[in-house]
Amino acid sequence: MSDQSERAVVCGGGGFIGGHLVKSLLAQGVNVVRAVDIKPLNEWYQVTPGVENLVLDLQDRNNCLTAAEGVNSVYQLAADMGGIGFIENHKALCMLSVLTTTHMLMAARDKGVERFFYSSSACVYNGGKQDRPDVPALKEEDAYPAMPEDGYGWEKLFSERMCRHFTEDYGFITRVARYHNVYGPNGTFEGGREKAPAAICRKVIEAIQTGHQQIEIWGDGNQTRSFMYIDDCVMGSRMIMESDIEQPINLGSSELVSINQLVDIVEDIAGIKLTRTYNLGAPKGVRGRNSDNTLIAEKLRWEPSISLRDGLEKTYRWIFDTMQTHAPVERVKYVA
């Protein structure tokens, strides 16, 4: 499918990744027919002119039929999700996202869609392979035998299988990318759904603004992750959608860091050194998780490559500027 012939809908288009994806697709010459999100339009992270922006709950099958009308490709990013604090405390909400993907697949089938992209997650991986900070990078086959993140991870893994079987039974193309911790400007940095890079940036900025030279870290700070900058995410998503890769594939950086090292980088960007306290009772997820990029490098001759330092520099500056004029949101409190 050429860029000029593609007519796309981005589900979750009012979200962080979805908003960036809409703009990226348009820049590549794709006709983004519409963006759909459950949030009121004034709560969308980005609203792009020239696109039909619809406020619809895609858990409802009829709304999915509306979303899929007149398009030949679907980017299904819509989900109820957030950082580790959210997904550990809202497992039922996360599981309900299976309705959105199931109904969008049904709508895509019924409306003659040619290609369907699904944004999965590294949370599908077997927890037994993520039990230490120096964990080996996760290969795609490490999702089985299945023992994913409770709630959110199970929903993602089930939806991956749904995509596979819709391809087998109904013949349209599905592509699945397993996102690894996406961050960047125009994302969530407060309110309880934020992920670690944005949360750390916000906490450092708050310490500067208040003069309280300390920062609370969830867990002992030795847990490890890799973090992918948003530009790499949208580029990789597009490349995977266009590819002949039939299996779920990692889309993430292979630059492994501890949360303590993440704080080090943000402190250096801010030009400050803070006293650290550790909340051992807070949500902290698995001990270690990294992306093995062997397969994506082999298939696409590409892998996410924007360094964490460069990405955090841009993210920090955006959060800093936003917080100057942005009223703080009441954040979810987790009791140790």
- Give yes or no for a contact between 199 and 237, defined as CB atoms under 8 angstroms apart: no
The H or E element containing residue 214 is: strand 214-218
**Rounded alpha-carbon distances, angstroms, from residue 128 to 45, 144, 204, 220, 288:** 35, 11, 33, 20, 10
As given in the structure block, the two tokens for residue 283 are 């949500």
Tokens for 148, please give them: 């994913």
Structure tokens at 112: 């003659």
Cα 80 from Cα 188, distance rounded (Å): 13
Helix, strand or coil for residue 240? helix
* 3 state SS of 13: coil
Q: Is 95 exposed, middle or buried (0-12, 13-18, 19+ CB in 10 A)?
A: middle
Find tokens 């035998």 and name the residue: 145
What CA–CA distance (Å, rounded) separates 195 from 90? 15
Nearest C-alpha neighbor of 98 from the set 145, 54, 157, 165: 157
- The rounded distance, in Å, linking the Cα atoms of 45 and 206 is 22
Place of tokens 């590409």: 302
Q: Please confirm, yes or no, whether 152 is among the known catalytic residues.
A: yes
Residue with tokens 């790499």: 232
Report d(CA 11, CA 69) in Å as an integer: 13
SS3 164: helix
**Which is the catalytic residue, given 75, 118, 152, 183?**
152
Sign, CA dihedral 328-81-15-312, equals positive
**Amino acid identity, position 165:** H
Catalytically active residues are: 152
